[in-house]
Amino acid sequence: MRTFLQQIAALLFCLLQFTMMKILLVEDNPELTQNILQYLTQEGILCETATTCFEAEDRLLGYAYDCVLLDLMLPDGNGLNLLRLIKDRGMKSSVLIISAKDALDDKLKGLDLGADDYLPKPFHLAELLARLRAIYRRSKLGGSDEISFGEILIRTQSLEVFVHDKVLDLTKKEFDLLVFLIVNKNKVISKQSIASHLWGDYTDDMANFDFVYQHIKNLRKKICAAGGKDYLSTVYGLGYKFDENAS
């Protein structure tokens, strides 16, 4: 009962900010599908799934999805064929390729064929959501490019952040961090996810994530200095959370 209510609340909340996103997840690994489904549904995104090229094609012909999460290594063929199908039919779906291959050629090929983004597996779910939202923002012409969270207002195109209508002076990384946290609000985001989002592969093998802490600290300071509430909380050394229920 409670989970159901939570879901309704999440859905309604998202409705206020975004028109409901509907995506198609094309992935053959059931565990991974489950993970992604759970995460995205909690964010108020409607997800449908397909485990083969055939099934995906079937679904694509029946509905225009906002975005297609496409795994390339499918049991009955290469996902790139689906991408070609989408482009050839002029479907308005954005495509985010998720693939374990991590081969540069595949990435270039995918982007050349018209994919909107390429996220190699394994990825952090927080990252997946951030990319999805970014694609959605870009693709919705005339749609809002604003993200608001309480007294915080973010204009993604002009890279401006306002707290109670006062402009915040943030560095690019701090801006990216804020967007990342708000998009994944109410979720515990691991330090690794944050590091990976801000610095990509450069943080591979970094001994500790002190630098993440520094950025969090600076961001927090700036928001509070402008009169915003302290939404950022540290979670037992695991990571951080942008909690809308914070005092």
Enumerate binding residues for another protein (CB under 8 A): 29, 31-32, 35-36, 38-39, 73, 100-104, 121-126, 171, 173, 187-188, 190, 192-193, 199-202, 204-208, 210-211, 214-215, 235-239
Letter for the amino acid at 54?
F
**Helix, strand and coil percent figures for the chain, each rounded to 5:** 45, 20, 30
Q: Judge residue 168's burial from the number of C-beta atoms within 10 Å of its C-beta, 0-12 exposed, 13-18 middle, 19 or more buried.
A: buried
> Least distance from C-beta 47 to another protein, angstroms?
14
In the complex with another protein, the residue whose CB is nearer, 112 or 205, is: 205
CB of 106 to another protein, least distance (A): 11
- Which distant-in-sequence residues (6+ apart) come within 8 Å of 115 by Cβ? 70, 83, 95, 96, 97
The rounded distance, in Å, linking the Cα atoms of 225 and 33 is: 42
Give the nearer residue to another protein in terms of CB position, either 144 or 171: 171
Nearest to another protein of 39, 54 (CB atom): 39
Which 8-state DSSP code applies to residue 145? -
Nearer to another protein, 3 or 141 (CB): 3
CB of 219 to another protein, least distance (A): 13
Looking at the Cβ atoms of 60 and 128, the one nearer to another protein is 128
Closest approach of Cβ 194 to another protein, in Å? 12
Question: Would you say 154 and 178 are in contact if contact means Cβ atoms under 8 Å apart?
Answer: yes
